[in-house]
Amino acid sequence: MSPKITGELLRLLRQVMRSCKYFSEPIHAYIVPSGDAHQSEYIAPCDCRREFICGFNGSAGTAIITEQHAAMWTDGRYFLQASQQMDNNWALMKMGLKETPSQEDWLISVLPENSKVGVDPWIIAADQWKNMSKALTSAGHSLVAVQDNLIDVVWTDRPERPSTQLRTLGLEYTGISWQDKITTLRGKMTERKISWFVATALDEIAWLFNLRGADINYNPVFFAYAIVGMNSISKLYFLFKKKKKSKAIPQCLLIPTDSRPEELLKYDQSRN
């Protein structure tokens, strides 16, 4: 197993970090989590950003790049694999060992004063953001949201996001229609005094609308977001090719009903 040569990739990424094209100020460190925008356990090739930048393709790990350093944290399952897949530009941080610093402590130890630490807000969990932001702020630094993923900027041959044909499951498989599921969901929302429910997990959306796809290998899911209100499904974001929209969206979502989504939008519009 040969390690990935990452010197040129890191140089390009640091160049992007220093520029002010994607954020108003230079970024002194950039965090690359493992997951996608849906916090999926399994991800599509286009979302394997941590693997792209450091070479390690295990299922768990976080890479952090500063102007002078590059480090990757993973657990004991992957110590050997990571050491074989990463070149000497990277420091392997072995989680669970007493001598291994946390990501926050390491950043605080290597960053200059008043540093900006960037991350794509779409692929970091809320609790991770809060914990990291609190630790950095206490040390005089700040965690900032960089809306354009900087790995994507330097990943010139990044695979296209999959957009497979959706399949509708009948009542013989689901036992309940998606309209009835929406009604039940709204009942729970009423109990908790919630006006809007935002669904981001791909398996939740597939279950809620009785749909299946194949956008991620060996997982019957498709890339989408849904926003459900008490009186309407305000927006339903699907990933579809421009010329194939009518073919990609199941007819059950296009037929006028009280539960029909008001808007069927392109997946990328969810970032706007």
pLDDT for 272: 54
pLDDT at 88: 98
In this structure, the number of other CB atoms found within 10 A of the CB of residue 93 comes to: 20
- Kindly tell me if the per-residue pLDDT of 24 is higher than 60: yes
Mean pLDDT of 186-205: 95
Please tell me the distance from the alpha carbon of residue 269 to that of residue 272, in angstroms, as a whole number.
Answer: 5
Give yes or no for residue 16 having a pLDDT over 70: yes
What is the DSSP code string of 137-154?
HHTT-EEEE-SS-HHHHH
Residues 230-258 pLDDT 10s: 887 756 776 555 444 444 455 555 444 44
CATH superfamily, domain 167-271, is Creatinase/prolidase N-terminal domain (3.40.350.10)
Give me the pLDDT at residue 13, please.
98
pLDDT in tens, 49-62: 999 999 999 999 99
Domains 7-154 and 167-271 share a fold: yes
The CATH classification number of 7-154 equals 3.40.350.10
Q: Which of 215, 222, 219, 216 is nearest to 253 (CA)?
A: 222
Q: What is the pLDDT of residue 232?
A: 77
- The model's pLDDT over 256-267, given as tens digits with 9 standing for 90+, comes to 444 555 556 667
Determine the average pLDDT of the residues in 119-124. Answer: 96
User: Which residue, chain included where needed, has tokens 């530009």?
Assistant: 89
Domain limits of the chain? 7-154, 167-271
Dihedral (CA of 125, 90, 145, 43) sign = negative
DSSP secondary structure of 32-92: E-S--TT--SS--GGG-HHHHHH---SSS-EEEEESS-EEEEE-GGGHHHHHHHB-TT-EE
Kindly report, residue by residue over 46-94, the tens digit of the pLDDT. 999 999 999 999 999 999 999 999 999 999 999 999 999 999 999 999 9
Q: What is the mean pLDDT of the chain?
A: 90
pTM, rounded to two decimals: 0.89
- Residue 197: pLDDT band with limits 50, 70, 90: very high
